[in-house]
Amino acid sequence: MRYAVRLLLKTPGFTAVAVLSLALGIGANTLMFSIVHAEVLRSLSYPGSDLVFDWFTPPNHPEQKRPASVADFLALREKSQALEHVGTVGGVDDTATFTGGPGDLPEQVEGQRFSAAVPLALDAKPLLGRWFTEAEAETEASPVIVISYRLWQRRFGGAADVLGKIVRLDGEAATIIGVMPNGWMLFNYPAQFWGPYRLAPAARGRPDRVLPLARLKPGVTMRQAQDEMNRFAAGLAEDFPSTNKGWGIRLESALDVYVGWVRQPLLIVQGVVALVLLIACANVAGLLLAQAAARKREVAVRAALGAGRWRIVRQFLTESVLLSLLGGLLGTALAYGGLKVFVAISPAWFPRIGEIVLDTRTLGFTAFLSLATGLVFGAIPALQSSGSGLIEIIKETNRGATAGLQRQRLRSALVVLEMSVALVLLIGTGLMLNTFLRLYYAPTGCD
């Protein structure tokens, strides 16, 4: 290890280029892994994350989805044996003028409305007070709301007697019945109040649409629940052919609904940065091959003094792993800065943006990636340099010969690999840019 450190310090230019190349590749992979882990791999952070959504889809076109009619939702809530706490999310984006609290100054606040079963499905408990009931969702009931922790602190100074206070939303009086814990959000929407979603009598017919949300009953699998939905959809199609014929019901997990639209793009970008790391590895392996060619005399002397092949290989691998660990440390710093920038420029509605952090799993991934990278790009020059016999090394050294044919072939192969991967990335980038421009300049059909 000490010799490897002295050797790297002896060649600062080579060390700087190698470490920077690896840092860019490892840093990009660390950044993307932290995002993919938070968005795709990690389960939802709140209790009751085994939620499902009910979508009506044509059997042959599952990508076409529509919410349920109010009548279908009410029938599902009444008849389902596989689902519990069947509710619906209504006004996802409900902006209202809020008036209340000291000063009584009006301000625009964002809210959400859903049925009383949704908090039960989420197992979400208020910090103060309670959630609304089904009775309070009736049109003749007095309006009630649950407010966010931020709104409670900003408008009421965190007063404990906030429960029961009357505020106004767009001029309509509403009673505060609860306060949620700091940071609580439903599907990452930064609402500041939550109210009951009211199914007006006129909406109980077939035209209006709602999005059913429920939780699997204990012991019920997704397949069993889907089988029940298939039978339920067949019954609806038979009873109401004009509106339900040709439509099935597909259950989708809350995680898929929440982050499904970003899963594929994120995995594609993760694959792209993996190719970038592959280019960096090939580049550093080429540099190590060139350095190994200049160290033939050293290898010959070490072999003459009794160093076995494994000892020579171990020395080269120690140097490459040390380079990769230095690249990993610098890459982690770059990933941390990149993550701060990504979170800062991302819109508030980007799913799970507050959960993207460099946690222990991400750091463990970086450490493993750094070690594996060092072994991968260091194995080629290590095995190649130790593969020749002592006599061949001495003869080649005494002749002052340049790299042998095998070394030249390895360098050529690495160059071809770098160019091939770079070409794939270039073509993919060009196609993506072409698609973006076509979509950007496509006629919208309106002036």
Q: Burial of 290 by CB count in 10 Å (0-12 exposed, 13-18 middle, 19+ buried)?
A: middle
Rounded to whole angstroms, how far apart are CA atoms 312 and 385? Answer: 8
Rounded CA gap, 197 and 70, in Å?
Answer: 12
Neighbour-count burial of 296, counting CB atoms closer than 10 A to its CB (0-12 exposed, 13-18 middle, 19+ buried): buried
CA separation for the pair 293, 392 (Å, rounded): 14
* pLDDT one digit per residue (tens) for the chain, 447 residues: 676 677 677 778 888 888 888 898 899 999 999 999 888 888 776 655 567 776 767 766 766 777 888 888 888 888 999 999 998 887 555 667 777 777 667 888 888 889 999 998 888 899 999 999 988 888 778 899 999 999 999 888 899 889 999 888 888 889 999 999 988 888 777 789 999 988 765 555 444 778 888 888 988 888 999 899 989 889 888 888 888 888 888 888 877 877 877 888 888 888 888 888 888 888 887 777 777 666 666 666 666 666 666 677 777 788 888 888 999 999 999 999 999 998 888 877 777 887 888 888 889 999 998 888 888 877 777 666 655 555 555 555 555 444 455 556 666 666 667 677 777 767 777 776 676 566 556 665 555
User: Residue 420: which residues within 8 A CB-CB, separation 6 or more?
Assistant: none
DSSP 94-118: EEEEEE-STT---EEEEEEEE-THH
CA distance 321 to 328: 10
